[in-house]
Structures are given as structure tokens and as C-alpha cells.
Structure 1
Amino acid sequence: MHRLKTVAGALTLAMAVLGLSACVVSGASPADRLKKDMQDAAMSVPGVESAQVNVNMNTSGNFINVKLVGTSNDEAALAEVLGEALPPMLEKTEDLESGSFAISIFSPDDAVSAGADALGYSGGKSLSNFREFFVN
């Protein structure tokens, strides 16, 4: 009986160590890493005051929604900033084969906004279409 308790104790300890090491090794999820990378890329562009990126990766696909806040209240100026922010942000998605992508930029007071259509884009929400138009 003592031997059985020793084996059970060793197994419990081994499982606890494996469980802790799995938590330590895994780090941020791919979605969290992409979110941070895209936010960093957007924030590196002059005229972007803040970037809210939502990345959802699941068995249904990849879904990316971005709200940028610019420093201007002028729609044309916001569109220009969006045009500068899109390529570096989309480059961060190069490992994704597919997905949907939505992005807009707003004035600090949310009264004025611009989307990719202000830059001549009419390709829908396909991530690959966005990359083809703004990166390639």
C-alpha cells in the first residue's frame, strides 16, 4: 500500500509540473500576438492617436476588426493616415491564408470617419483582397 501511495504521489507531482510548464511555455496566443503586432504597426504611423484591434481566430476563420483614431477632424487627412497605416498593419497578417478584415479611422471626437473605400478600395472584407490592394 505504501508503494501505491508513493507512485500516486509521484504521478500527481509530475502532472502538476507538466501543467505549470505548459502554461509558462505557451505565452500569448497567436490572436493576441497578431493584435499587438497590428496595434504597434498602426501606432508607428504619424497621425494615429490610438488603435483598437480585435482578432478572433477560431475554427470558423480569422476575423480582424480595427478602429483607428486619428489626430485630425478632416476626412481627407484621416483617409491619408489610413492609407499610410494599412500596409504595415496588413503585412503583419502575411501568415494568414484567409480571413475577414474591417477597418475605419475616426476623428478624436468620433464625428468624422474614413474607411478603405475613401482610398478607392471596393473589394469587400476579404483579408487577401485587402492585402492585394494595399500591400502588393
Structure 2
Amino acid sequence: MELSIKIKRESEFYKGCIRFKVTVANESDYVITDVTLDFKIDETILHIVQHDKCSARNGQLQFVLGNIKRHNSKTFTVLFEPLTCTESTDIRCLVTYADHEENMNSTFMEPKRDKRHLSNNGDRSGHKYRQAQGIHRKSSSQRQPYL
């Protein structure tokens, strides 16, 4: 029997860090238990500085979401601090859970590659970044109004 589990993820820059959100949606007719997120990241590039309150295992890379009722979801937010300047990096996550018959299952989240320039302080607004990307700031009179 196959359970219908969906994993959604998104990221954004927030206060010099990458705010990464993962939602695990249980679209089956049964509860899933012991839902765990196991992040696979390059620890020379990213460091976890903050996360939603939940149990952490394995050196702060594995987080226990607990049980997800049928036709419900849970979202987890983590802040990654860039440790070095790089073009991009993959954020991977293995989701494990037990189905209603207590069989363990796992599925990988599609990797999220942040292609934005990461600096050691996460700042994308600096002059050097714009210069390297060939971005020229327009004066306020040249900007188009928001519609």
C-alpha cells in the first residue's frame, strides 16, 4: 500500500540567512507517525543557526515533527547561515515516517538549489555583488512603479 505524502519547500533570504521552509503533507486516509526530517547539507558552506522548536537529533541536522493526522500537514522552518562565499549549494532532506501499520518509510525531498550568490553574511545588496553580477542600480526616477 502506498501512502500519499507530498513534500513542498521554499527558501528566501532573511536577515543575512537563508530561511528554508519544508511542509510535509499527509494526503492519505491514515495518520503517519514519527515523521523526521534529516537534512543533508555541506556543513562547510551552511550552518543551522535557528529552527522551529522540536526535538533535534544527530548534531542538529535531524528534526522530529512527530505525528501528522490524515489529510493534514506540518511545516518546519530552519535558518541557514552561509559560512563562505559561493554561487550555490544544494539543500537536501530525507523524510522518514511510520505508516498506520507501523512500517517505516522514507522519501527524499527534491533538492532545493539556491542559485543566489551567498556571502559570509548573506548580503545580496552590496556593491561588490551587484558589480560581479553586472547589475546597475537605477535611480528612483528610472524605476518603474509597482502595479
Whose strand fraction is larger, Structure 1's or Structure 2's? 2
Question: Which structure's CA Rg is the greater one?
Answer: 1
Whose helix fraction is larger, Structure 1's or Structure 2's? 1
